[in-house]
Each structure stands twice: as C-alpha cells, then as structure tokens.
Amino acid sequence: MTLIRRTFLQGLAGAAALATLPGAAVNAQAAPAASIPADHPLQAAWQAWRSSYIAPEGRVVDSFQQGASHSEGQGYGMALALSFGDGETFRRLYSWTETNLALRPDALLAWRWLPDALPHVADRNNASDGDLFYAWALARAARLFGVPDYAARARAIAADLVASCVVTMPDGSADVMLPAASGFLTGTGFILNPSYWMPRAMRDLAAATDQPALARCADGAERLMSQMAANGLVPDWVEVTADGITLPPARFSANSGYEALRVPLFLVWSRANTHPAVRGFTEAHQAAETGDLRAPTVFERGTGRVLEYSTHAGYRAVSALTACAGAQRAGSAIPPFDTTQPYYPATLHLMTLVAQIEGYPRCVPL
Amino acid sequence: MTAQLAPWATLHAALALALWAAAAAAQDSPLIEAFPAEDTAPAEAAIAEQVLRDSGSDAAAAPVQTWLLPLRPSVPVLPSNGSAADNAALPGAFRLTGEQSGAEFMLWLPDGASASDLVLAYRSSINVLPERSQLSVSVNGEPAGAFLLTSFAQFTPVTLQSTALRPGLNRVQIDVVHHHRIFCGPEASFAVWTELLLPQSGVTMQAARLGADAAGFLAAASAQVASGAPIEIRADGALDPLLLRNLSARLTAALAATPDFRVVSPWTPQTGAPSKARITVLQGGTGRASIEQGGDGAVVLLLDPAAGVELPLESVLPPLAAAETPQAGAVPALQPGQATPFADLGLGDTTARGHYILHDMNFRLPDDWLILASQEARFTLLYGFADALPSGSLMLVKVNGQTVRLLPLDRNGGRVQPPLEMGFAANLLRPGANRVSFEAILPGDPPDMPCAPLKEETLTILGSSTLWTPPAPAMDLPNMARPLARLTTDGVQGTSAASAATEELLLPFAALYQPPEPRADRAPAVLTVARIDAPGEMPLAALGLTRRMLEEAVAQMPASTEDSAGGPQDSWLHRRWADLVGLALPGDPPLDRWLADRHGIAMLLQPDPEVPQHLWLLLGPGTDPAFVAAALEAGRRAFDGPRGQVSLLGPDGRWTSWADPDRPPRLQEPLRPGNLRFVLGNYASWSPMLFTGVLVLLALISSLVAMSFVVGNRGARK
C-alpha cells in the first residue's frame, strides 16, 4: 500500500476566485431565498414533518431507533428548515445540537443521542453525513439570515471534516469521505457508505468554506458510484482496498438497502439525474414493481433479487422522482406526503419533494 | 475605476492564497493516512455501529389491497348529504319501497376484469315477510340470481355469481318483491322496503388490477364518488375553466352523479383516505392527455394542456361517449291542440302489481303556452285492471300533484275498459315541465292479514291513451323556469372576482346535462353562481330585496327583531285587508312577507326584469355545490322545480318558489279577434280586480261619451 498524502489546499487558488477576501467567513454570495416560498403548498408538508418528528426542544426524534436523535437527523432537519425558510425551527435545531452533540474536542458532532441512556451520548464518534448536512445548512443559513456565527461554525466543521474523514483512493483516482473519523479503517483499507455522500452539499460547502477537498470528494463520490453502478445497484456499504472496491466485512450490509436508497435521491438532488446509479436504481425498481403500493427496499447485491418491501410512501417517492427526472417525463408518481410513516422514509419523502420543486418542475406529483 | 481594479484584487487574493497554501503544505496534512506504508502499524479495526434505518416485509408477504367498485344508480339522485337524501335514511343507501320495486344501476369494470362475484349489501324493514319477499338481480339483461330477504337490522352482504359481468359499463337491474308480515294495503305497501348500501355493493378487485386506462379510471372514479369523497383536481396554477367544465360534464354523464370536485395543490399532504381517482393538470405542457397511476395508487387522468392544442379527451376516455344516460336528453314535449299518445310522452304500455301503484308521466308544454282561465284539457284514457279487486280500490289521476279524477277499480274489472274521456281544468297545466300521475290504491282484503299473492297484474295503462290540451295564444308570465330550461354549461359563470375557489364552486354546475328545451332562437341563459357572503354585483332593487333579507333566508342568520314583534302588520285589520287583497289580487304575497318565515340552503333569483335570461344562484355558507347543482338539474325537469322570480332550495332538495304578483302576463303575438277572448281571459284570471277596474273604467268612459253625445245632440224639449 502506498501512503497517500494530499493537501487540502491543492486547487485552492482556483477556489479563491469565489471569494472577495481570502479567509472570508463564508464566501460572499447573494443571499439566497428559501427554495420553497412561504406560500407554497408544500409548506403544509413541512409543517406536518416538523410537528411529527421534532420535539419542542429542537431534537429530531427517530422513534424507530429508540427515540434516538442523530447528527444526521439534525442536519437533515436544518437543511430542510432552510429550504422552507423556517428560521425559528432552524435555530431550535441548532441550539439543541450545539448543546447536546457538540461534545467532541474538534468541531464535529457526536453521532447519536439516546434519550433513555446515561450519558445520553455514549459514543463520541461522529457521522460524516450528519456533519456534512449540518455544516451545509449552517453555511446556507449564514447567507440567508446574515449570521456570521453560523459561517464560522460551518467553516470549522468543514475543516475538521476534511481533516478527519477525507481519504484518497488507493489508486489516487479520487478523494472520498469516510463515514466517520474513527472506526472505518481496516487493516487493508477502509469502509465506505456511498449514501453518506451528497455531492451538492459537498460542493456548496466547499465553495462556502474554502474547502476544495470537499468538492473533490463530490467528484470522487460520483465517480465511485459510477463504478459501483456498473456492477449492479450501489450497495449500502463497501470496503476499499488496494485491490479496489470489495464487499464490506460481514456485519455491514453488502446489499442495496435502506442506506443506499439515499444514493439516487442525493444524486438527483445534485442535478445528476442521468447518473448511472440513478438509471440502475430506476430500472431495478421498475423491474420489481408490484403495483400494490409497496416499494422494494432491499435488493440482494449481485443477483438483484428483492429481499424486502416496504409500504412506507417515502421510498416510493424516491423511486418516482428518479424515474421522472431520469426520463424527463411530465408528471411523477410521487405519493402525497404522509406522516404515518416513520421518521426515515418521511424525511426522504420530504427531501424528494424539495428536490422535485428545486430541480424538476415538470415532475409534479400526479 | 472599480472595474479596472477588480482583476488585480482577485489576482492578489489568489497569489496570497497560493503562498499560504504552500506554507500549509509544508506542515502536516490534515488528511488521513488510510493506506500507511508497510512499516507502519495497522489502522484501527472497524468497530463502528451500523444503524437499522427501517424494516419492511419480505417479498412473499405481499399485502393485497382491494377496492370495491360500487354500483351507481343509473338515474341521478340528489347527493346523499345528511338529511338531503330523500330516498334513504343512510348516506349511500338506496331504498326500494313498495310491494314491487326495481331500479337500474351502473357498474364500471376495468379492462381485463374477469370478475364474477357481485356483492350486494342490503337490509329490509322489519315489516317484510322473509319467506315470501325476495330480491332478484340481472346483469346486462341476464339473470344473476335471487335470494330471500332475511336481513333486517344490519346490512348483510350477499354474493351472487354472474358470468355476464364484462369490462366497461355494466347495467345491473335489481328488483324486489315485498310482502308485509301483518298487514295488507297501501299503508302496508309504504312500510315494506329494502335498502342497498351502494358503497358496499359491487365488485371487489385488487387495486393493482385497475389498469391505467379509461375503464380503470371510470371504475376508480365511480368508487371515489361512492365513498362520498370529492374528486380532487390537482393543479399548480391557473386552470382553464372550459376544460374543467368539459371534464366535469363528461364525468357526470358517465357516473350518473354530480361529483363534488375539489381543487388542490399537487403537494397537498395526505390527510384522509387515499384517493382512488383524480385529475391532475400540468402547466405549459405538451397538449397530451393520458391515464396514469399515482404514487398513492389513484388512477389519474393526467392533462398536460398546451396553448392552441386541443386535448385528446375523446381518445383517452372513449367510454364516456357511450355512457350518456337517457335522463340527459330532452323531456318529451306535448303539442297543444293535438291529442298526444302517452307513449310519446314517455309512458308506454304499463302494467303493475300491488296495493299501491304510482306511474308518473313527465312532459313539457311550450314556454309561451299560457292558460289561466277556465278552458278544459282532456285525457282519453285506455286502462284496465284485475277482476274482483277489493272494494274501495281506486285510481287517482293527478295533474301536477292535484287530483282531477277518482276512478273506481272495484267493478267491471278483468278487461281493458272502454276509452274514458276525461276533462280537467287546463290551468292546472303550466308552461314548461308538467307531470301527470296515476296512483292506484287497493285496500287489503282483509287489511289486517298479510296480502294473498296477486295472481295477475293489478293495473294496466295503455300507451295509446292520449292527452289533449287546448291551443293558447303565445303569452307568458315572467318566469325563471324559461331561461333555466335553456341553460347550458357555457352559461354558468362566477362573479367577477374569479379565483380557484370560485372555479371549484362552479364545477358541479358545469355538469348540467343537455337543457330540457334547447332553443337556439332565444337569448342564451346565464347563471351566475356565488356564495351568499359574496353576491357580487347582483341587482337587488327590482325585487325590493336587501342583503339582510338574503342573508336571513339563506345564511340562516337570526331573524331581525325589529319586525318580529307584534306590530301593525299583525293587527286584525291588517290581516283582513290582506285577505281581501288576496281575493282581489291572487298570487304570492310581497316578497318580504313571503321570505319572512322561510329558510333555505340556496336561493335562485331572476332579479332584473330587463334581463330575464340572467339568473343568479346564491349558496348559503357551507352548502355543498354538488348538492345544489343536482337539485337544480332535477328541478328544471320537474313540475315543482324553480319558477317565478325567487326560489328557495330546502335541505331536502325541494324548491319553493315566489312569483312577483306585479309582473303581468305578456302577449307574444298580435292581438286578433281570434285570440281576443283567450287573452282577456288570461288577464282576467291573473288579476280579477284590476280587470274589473279596467272594465268599469271603460264602462264609465263609454257612459260619459254616450251621455255627452246624447246631451250634445238632443233637441230642445218643447
């Protein structure tokens, strides 16, 4: 194996063109409006999501997982709050997260908070997707609300994310983001979760915080996902060794399941609607169509056999948007937003609707 | 200046960053050593925890979602909206009353359907004698089975096998024969009934088998209507009213019901039961129309209108054309001065069996046919009845609800009777819609025992019977029934303040059928529909109306107290004077008095005598527009529908009308010696006191002229 050292400042000179001043808090850009206007009908879905999954103190609750809160959920919630221009909810989420998950010596967040455990945070490891969405939301909020503290916090997280979680592929072909700062390095390589990669968030955050390594991670993510899609559906977890992309250790899912469901969503949200992973996902879902309002959720890696279905509408929403966005059709079979489903599919559902409005106006839910 | 310096500033920044980057590169890289050199220690073992996101079911455990595709009445009935449904006490229930009764129902099945199980959920009144009472079913003309009526308290599903069910439109005829447990006679006949719970009667199919095709859409839309939920129209942005009205009219014809439409956003969250069918309208599209399956399983009619391109609705929904029901056509017309066979008026040879029999014959007279005087119209009735019917059996002949003859049925039976010439007052008939009813009543024999089985038909009326009405001069009374009979969907409009809510309000009215009397030679009728709280620019002055009066009548606000106390209007003298005026000037009282003790859920008005073809319909707060539209459609075909200048719709779907007593009949043709007598007769009947006064005045003038002549020309008396 080769020691790979890449400086995160390579290419920074190019990125500097985005800044008016070197080292600016957050690159000065026109303050963006919320992507969903205050009078948009989807605001009702956001209000339903907010009242169903956010506790009054600002904690996103995943009841399916013992009522836990994750940095990922906090990041998702804050990103969604920004899309809907909901500053009050954004601040509540931010305040709770800073108080309860910002416990590490670096700027990253502890990944999980359990309400019935003491201490509530037993493991101070981070989750890079949670940090990514959290910092992305902060960077956007800094521009939207004009709060410099948000920008500073986003910059610190981005820097530590790069410092702790970005690695380079053995062949030097790409930089990629590890799932966490610790725990995912093996004796022969490292373990990756492709669904932790959100190319748009990476690029936006890179531009906003002068961390071009994150933009390279976005490029690397899309490249690696193309490689994975060439052999079937993108799996939940993979291990990367000097030999390339291989199956992960046994206790990690090698199937394409609930984790990997986010891959096509994040690609489409990143405007990569013709990406091979999106195409493969759409084809697999269309082949597994049952017509009875169940979505295939777990495909066996290799055979493509469906191992599990779910009736939760959020999963159907993802496949409906990817099918429409990939084919550039008019109208999509995105089901109406529904809070009778658990937090995870409901969140994917709402993200899907936001992605549709932001990028695919012709994919209006039928 | 700034523009020239900007590139230099950027370059400076880039250089500064590059220098800083170089310096930083000399320090430790923040990136992880994922693949350390051979001589370095192994990296940490993977210990991270994998999160379980969600769980589902395995591939084999497929829940089967089924929908019931329900029976729909072939004849439109008023929407079941609480107490408004007058044919059954329960929403969605269809009641068949009497010793013999039947009705036809429609059932849409999707393409590829191979259903054979037809479910009927029914219950009967406790008075029904189960051993001898039965329900029989035929599907598309083929018998599908029969069963005894044994369910009384709860609705009980019964499954019948039918090989006649086919994809597309099926016609299901359901007939019942009831016998009373204890009594026999007309009262007992009203006490025996069977209710079909339509939302639970029909064919059950897997939702997945409802194809995204025309029949699948209509089947799903039928189920949606039967569930009582509105049909959603999803749209983001402005809707083309003409397109929606076109669709609404087509769906109403296919479903034989006026659906309640609701315009919603495509992003509206799910709050209730998922839709089975809906319409989605995209913006700025390709000009295509198609049927798709929505993400919630609904069968969706997707419209993608484009400017200048007509949507191919005919090709997408071809079965709609075949679904036109007979009720959508014109009401038969009676030509004055000609003896018209009953068969031409919709009542062919008719036979029936039972102790209470009712046959209605609906027809129209010309809008300008008006007889208020004492002319006589005439039936030539050909009828027969069974021999030895119980003593006291009789048949009532009614004209517009008023009995004009009682015919005994308890003598000389067993044969067709000699033709019976039967005159009646022609002024019972009205311009426009009329109804003649034949109502037979047979006492029980004995009345306190169950009826013995009737071996033969009780009553026969031959279609060759005729009705003759005298010709009349072309006259009319100002009457909203005339423009209402000509109203088409194009004439329905909202107030000037257009909005999505307005369009939603209008949609059910866009589903009006073909007018009962289309007249291309008349000015097109206009109906403006509005809520009572936003009546727009409706003229009120001509009728002497005020907003307060409208609101009290329709919005059911507390009645104004200023006039309710016993004032001069309640005095004995005032009442006697009113009686006297009523005798001299027959007709309705002034509008304020007429409205004083009436309330309704909607009001139809003809407010401006100068523009009689412009009608206004004001809906009370919370009134269901689909209900009002159905009542309006039914009312303009019925003799007791809206007429005069103001008509109130009650919650039971019945109209109560007021005619302005100050608006005289108008002669629509030249006055000639031949029509003088009829014309004068009409005026004399319309206002005897005014007519008498005019005659007295003429007599006085004549006397004065005569006296002047005599005085001026007589010779001096010697």
- CATH number for the domain spanning B344: value is 2.60.120.260
Going by the DSSP 8-state scheme, the letter that residue B414 receives in this structure is: S
Q: Is A250 on the interface with B (CB under 8 A)?
A: no
Q: What are phi and psi of B47, to 5 degrees?
A: -125, 0
Please give the helix or strand (H or E) that residue B704 lies within, else none: helix B688-713
3-state SS class at B196: strand
Kindly report the CATH number that applies to the domain delimited by A41-359.
1.50.10.10
- Within 8 A of B53 by CB-CB distance, chain A residues are 64, 257-259, 344
Q: Is A252 on the interface with B (CB under 8 A)?
A: yes
B446 shares its domain with B528: no
- C-alpha distances (whole Å) from B116 to each of B103, B147, B165, B302 are 21, 17, 6, 31
Length of chain B: 718
Amino acid sitting at position A290: T
**Domain-embedded: residue B3:** no
* Residue of B239, B206, B235 lying closest to B220 (CA atoms): B206
Beta strands B277-281 and B299-304, pairing class: parallel
- Within 8 A of A265 by CB-CB distance, chain B residues are none
**Domain-embedded: residue B697:** yes
**Domain-embedded: residue B13:** no
Q: Cβ separation of B270 and A336 shorter than 8 Å?
A: yes
Q: Are A257 and A344 in contact (CB under 8 A)?
A: no
Q: Is B539 on the interface with A (CB under 8 A)?
A: no
Q: Is B60 on the interface with A (CB under 8 A)?
A: no
**Domain-embedded: residue B714:** no
- For residue B56, give the nearest of A310, A317, A357 by CB distance: A310
Q: Which two tokens stand for residue A138?
A: 């902060």
B204 shares its domain with B237: no
B356 shares its domain with B247: no
Please give the helix or strand (H or E) that residue B316 lies within, else none: helix B313-316
B593 shares its domain with B469: no
Amino acid sitting at position B386: A
The whole-angstrom distance between A226's CA and the closest CA on chain B is: 22
Residues B112 and B166: their CA atoms lie apart, in Å, by 9
Alpha helices in B158-284 (DSSP H): 186-190, 214-226, 241-255
- C-alpha distances (whole Å) from B92 to each of A353, A364, B78 are 36, 34, 11
B389 shares its domain with B533: no
* Beta strand spans in B149-284 (E): 156-161, 168-177, 193-197, 202-206, 231-235, 261-264, 277-281
* CB-count exposure of residue B411 (10 Å: 0-12, 13-18, 19+): exposed
Longest Cα pair distance anywhere in chain B, in angstroms? 167
B243 shares its domain with B378: no
3-state SS class at A237: coil
Q: Cβ separation of A64 and B54 shorter than 8 Å?
A: yes
Among residues B407, B438, B473, the one where a domain terminates is B473
- Within 8 A of B59 by CB-CB distance, chain A residues are 305-309
Q: What is the DSSP string of B528-568?
A: EEEETT--TT---GGGT--HHHHIIIII-PPPPSTTTSS-G
Task: Enumerate the domain spans of chain A.
Answer: 41-359
Length of chain A: 366
- Within 8 A of B51 by CB-CB distance, chain A residues are 65, 70
CB atoms within 10 A of CB B574: 12
Residues A206 and A212: their CA atoms lie apart, in Å, by 5
Among residues B473, B489, B506, the one where a domain terminates is B473
- Within 8 A of B306 by CB-CB distance, chain A residues are none
Residues 324-363 of A with CB under 8 A from B: 330-340, 342, 344-345, 353, 357, 362
Contacts of B300 (CB under 8 A, 6+ apart): A331, A366, B212, B217, B277, B278, B279, B280, B291, B292, B293, B294
Domain that holds residue B377: 340-473
Q: Are B87 and B77 in contact (CB under 8 A)?
A: yes
B366 shares its domain with B317: no
B118 shares its domain with B179: yes
Q: Are B536 and B514 in contact (CB under 8 A)?
A: no
B657 shares its domain with B591: yes
Residues A180 and B350: their CA atoms lie apart, in Å, by 86
Residues B144 and B160: their CA atoms lie apart, in Å, by 7
**Domain-embedded: residue B600:** yes
**Domain-embedded: residue B27:** no
Q: Are A243 and A237 in contact (CB under 8 A)?
A: no
Handedness of CA B118, B119, B125, B129 (dihedral sign): positive
Q: Is B452 on the interface with A (CB under 8 A)?
A: no
The rounded percent of chain A whose pLDDT value lies above 90 is: 79
Q: What integer pLDDT is reported at residue A191 of this predicted model? A: 95
pLDDT less than 70: residues of chain B:
1-50, 58-64, 76-90, 112-114, 208, 318-330, 496-501, 510-522, 535-536, 556-570, 582-585, 715-718
Task: Assign A207 a pLDDT band (cuts: 50, 70, 90).
Answer: very high
Alpha helices in B57-192 (DSSP H): 186-190
Per residue in A96-113, is it b (16+ CB within 10 Å) or e — as a string?
bbeebbbebebbbbbbbb
Q: What integer pLDDT is reported at residue A204 of this predicted model? A: 96
**Domain-embedded: residue B451:** yes
Asked, as a colleague might, if the bond just before A276 is cis with ω within 30 of 0, I would say no
How many domains in chain B? 5
What number is the average pLDDT over the span A59-86?
95
ipTM summary value? 0.84
- For residue A45, give the nearest of B267, B280, B292 by CB distance: B267
Residues B355 and B76: their CA atoms lie apart, in Å, by 27
- Within 8 A of A313 by CB-CB distance, chain B residues are 270, 295-296
Residues 211-240 of B with CB under 8 A from A: 234, 236
3-state SS class at A156: helix
Q: Which of B40, B66, B267, B275 to mutate to test the interface with A (most CBs of A within 10 A)?
A: B267
- Within 8 A of B31 by CB-CB distance, chain A residues are 4-8, 162-163, 166-168, 213
Q: Is B41 on the interface with A (CB under 8 A)?
A: no
Q: What integer pLDDT is reported at residue A245 of this predicted model? A: 92
- Which CATH number characterizes residue B512's domain? 3.30.379.30
- For residue B46, give the nearest of A12, A191, A342 by CB distance: A191
Going by the DSSP 8-state scheme, the letter that residue A316 receives in this structure is: H
Residues B103 and B312: their CA atoms lie apart, in Å, by 35
Residue A30 scores a pLDDT above 50:
no
Per residue in A180-210, is it b (16+ CB within 10 Å) or e — as a string?
bbbbbbbebbbbbbbbbbbbbbbbbbbbbbb
Q: Cβ separation of A13 and B17 shorter than 8 Å?
A: yes
Q: Which two tokens stand for residue B547?
A: 């907003």
Q: Cβ separation of A189 and B34 shorter than 8 Å?
A: yes
Please give the helix or strand (H or E) that residue B459 lies within, else none: strand B459-461
Q: Is B572 on the interface with A (CB under 8 A)?
A: no
Residues B282 and B284: their CA atoms lie apart, in Å, by 7
The per-residue pLDDT of chain A, averaged, comes to 89
B83 shares its domain with B191: yes
